[in-house]
Amino acid sequence: MTRASVSPLIRELRAALGAAQVLSAPADLVAYECDGFTIEKHPPDAVVFPRSTDEVARIVKICNRLGVPVVPRGAGTSLAGGCLPIGGGVVVMLTRMKQVIEVNLRDRLAVVEAGATNVALGRALSGTGYHFAPDPSSQKASTIGGNVATNAGGPHTLKYGVTVNHVLGIEAVLGDGSVLRVGPIDNPAGLDLIGVLVGNEGTLAVVTKVWVRLTPNPADYRTMQVIFETVDDATNAISDIIAQGIVPAAMELMDRGIVAAVEEAFAMGFPLDAGATVVIEIDGPSAGLDEQQQRIVKLCEKWNAREVLYAADAKEREKLWQCRKMAVGAVGRLSPSYIIQDGVVPRTQLPRVLRRIGEIAVKYGLRIVNVAHAGDGNVHPILLFDERDPEQVERTLAASGELLQECINCGGSVTAEHGVGVEKIRFMDKLFAPADLEAMRRVRQSFDPSGCLNPGKLIPSAS
Ligand SMILES: Cc1cc2nc3c(=O)[nH]c(=O)nc-3n(C[C@H](O)[C@H](O)[C@H](O)COP(=O)(O)OP(=O)(O)OC[C@H]3O[C@@H](n4cnc5c(N)ncnc54)[C@H](O)[C@@H]3O)c2cc1C
């Protein structure tokens, strides 16, 4: 870029951060045009790499003054277009702020910069006897800031809760560039600002530091893989297990389509002709686990379970989980492009919604495979298509919309954990009354008066 073409925005960002922390050449911006939702793409005006909360504050102040949108970004694994720089703007990459600053076992908390990956925090806690409970399948890449901004869940959400249940404090830069710090403390007095900030999808603040709760590692586990003839049987067994008052740590369903991809990738020996495979894990003190496991197996047998395979040791357990968490990646073997949808329904509605997903696949002539955090009623239909064919893209989007509508019809919602982003914003007025949305807009305005933080995401603007 010649000196004459450097815009005031880029000049100010370089002056504030140093040129090495600012990207603005078109070729450098391509990687930031989209996130895990690849259907829509917009190049940003610049990408910046702050190293401290103070630098983030300086960036936000500059953007505010120049009327430029600010798009916070961690690893960019959002599946809802949360990092899409609609109409340009400055993408703020948090990935250089990646220190696990402190592990404090006496207070059972860790202090982490927003750009640290979930797995890096796990590594820092290894050997302490504690862990950070939210375990999204993207945890090798996704950041703690991203997990906080999307209120991420994961397979073990069923027993341990989602990210908001594990955040004790947050430091964040608000829309005017001021720095807010809430916590770290359990049940603080005053308004629950942590509850407001977790899940804000970058629309209220740029999270720079998080105090996370540490959870003691379970003393023991029982992990099994139950093979069912049909998806209906599997989902009915899952509802029965919960109805019996058993709360497993995880119940993860994979249908025949995804098992085929997983088998090709990992050769685990899963049967290719079964309707569904469910990974069930229980954990806690050793006493009583065997009895609980027997009760679960009995309930699965009532629903015609063909076979139950038990993880014999920690190595086998780890392999099973690795395989489940890499299942989505394995889909790359089936299709050049895919959309991973995220809907949630009451558990008892799982048979209905999964059947309907099958019908929608037939209606639109598409292949759809399913993974589900089934214990939570959280379905992840994966729609396979070829992004290079506009007609296929159109069909895929129509099918996506129809299956999300079905989740609403079943008394559920269009997202359990991936967020609203740009992808689902059109559903917000189906989920919320005008007065609810107006209240959300007012909250947003008080955190970000000029509206520069991640515009066009999460909360629709007033019509
Ligand atoms: C293969 C795969 C599996 C997945 N599995 C799961 C799963 O099991 N559970 C689950 O919940 N999600 C899952 N996801 C979705 C995604 O990984 C999560 O939403 C994750 O929390 C996003 O983290 P990230 O660092 O990639 O955030 P990004 O994608 O970079 O950002 C996500 C959103 O948060 C905002 N944001 C990011 N960082 C900050 C910050 N520091 N301050 C303010 N706003 C910020 C962004 O603006 C954007 O709106 C999966 C994604 C993939 C690709």
Domains of the chain, start order? 1-217 (3.30.465.10), 220-329 (3.30.70.2190), 335-409 (3.30.70.2740)
Comparing 185-194, 297-306, 349-358, 453-462, which segment has the lowest mean pLDDT?
Answer: 185-194
Q: Is ligand 1 within 6 A of the CB of residue 400?
A: no
Between 61 and 321, the more confident residue is 61
- pLDDT at residue 223 above 70? yes
Q: How far apart are CA 310 and CA 316, in angstroms?
A: 9
Closest residue by Cα to atom 21, ligand 1, is: 147
Tell whether ligand 1 has an atom less than 6 A from the beta carbon of residue 252: no
User: 167 CA distance to ligand 1 centroid (A)?
Assistant: 16
C-alpha 451 – ligand 1 centre gap (Å): 21
How far does residue 79's CA lie from ligand 1's centre (Å)?
7
- Average pLDDT of the chain is 94
C-beta 153 within 6 A of ligand 1: yes
Tell whether the model's pLDDT for residue 92 goes beyond 70: yes
Residue 13 reports pLDDT greater than 90: yes
Kindly state the average pLDDT of the residues 251-274: 89
In the reported structure, the alpha carbon of residue 164 is separated from the centroid of ligand 1 by a whole-number distance in angstroms of 14
Q: Report the nearest-CA residue for atom 44 of ligand 1.
A: 202
Task: Please give the average per-residue pLDDT across 95-107, as a whole number.
Answer: 97
- Checking if the pLDDT of 381 tops 60, the result is yes
410 Cβ closer than 6 Å to some ligand 1 atom:
no
- 85 Cβ inside 6 Å of ligand 1: no
Alpha carbon distance 67, 253 (integer Å):
46
Mutational pocket test of ligand 1: of 138, 198, 326, the residue with most ligand atoms within 8 Å of the beta carbon: 138
Q: Would you state the pLDDT for residue 3?
A: 46
C-alpha to C-alpha distance for 223 and 316, rounded to whole angstroms: 9
What is the best residue among 418, 423, 425, 458 to mutate for testing ligand 1's pocket, by most ligand atoms within 8 Å of CB? 418
Residue 392: alpha-carbon gap to chain centroid: 26
Q: Which tens digit of pLDDT belongs to each residue from 146-193?
A: 999 999 999 998 999 999 999 999 999 999 999 999 989 777 788 999
Quote the ligand 1 centre to 151 CA distance (angstroms).
9
Pull the structure tokens for residue 353. 């919604």
Average pLDDT of span 79-102:
97
User: 3-class DSSP state for residue 323?
Assistant: helix
**What is the whole-number distance in angstroms between the Cα of residue 147 and the centre of ligand 1?**
6
The arithmetic mean of pLDDT across residues 311-322, rounded, is 90
Tokens of 393: 């893209």
Q: Residue 456: CB within 6 Å of ligand 1?
A: no
User: Does 76 contact ligand 1 (Cβ within 6 A)?
Assistant: yes
List, as own/partner pairs, every contact residues 96-102 make where C-beta atoms lie below 8 angstroms and the sequence separation is at least 24, other chains included. 96/21, 96/49, 96/50, 96/51, 97/50, 97/51, 97/52, 97/208, 98/143, 100/124, 101/209
Distance of alpha carbon 267 from alpha carbon 142, whole angstroms:
26
The pLDDT, as a whole number, for residue 4 is 47
143: Cβ below 6 Å to ligand 1?
yes
Q: Token pair of 260, please? A: 């085929």
Does 139 sit in the ligand 1 pocket, CB within 6 Å?
Answer: no
81 Cβ closer than 6 Å to some ligand 1 atom? no
Give the pLDDT of residue 265.
Answer: 82
Q: State the pTM of this model.
A: 0.94
Least confident piece of the model among 1-15, 74-88, 106-120, 254-268: 1-15
Quote the DSSP letter at residue 461.
Answer: P
Residue 206 CA to ligand 1 centre (angstroms): 14
Q: Determine the pLDDT at residue 5.
A: 61
Query: What's the Cα-to-Cα distance from 69 to each of 72, 179, 207, rounded to whole Å?
Result: 10, 18, 16
Angle (deg, nearest 10), helices 256-266 and 314-325: 120
Per residue in 447-458, pLDDT (tens digit) is 999 999 999 999
pLDDT at 379: 96
Query: How many angstroms separate the alpha carbon of residue 458 from the centre of ligand 1?
Result: 14
Mutate to test the pocket of ligand 1, among 37, 150, 162 (most ligand atoms within 8 A of CB): 150
Atom of ligand 1 nearest to the CA of 36: 53
The closest of 3, 79, 12 to 328, measured between CA atoms, is 79
Ligand 1 in contact with 320 (CB < 6 A)? no
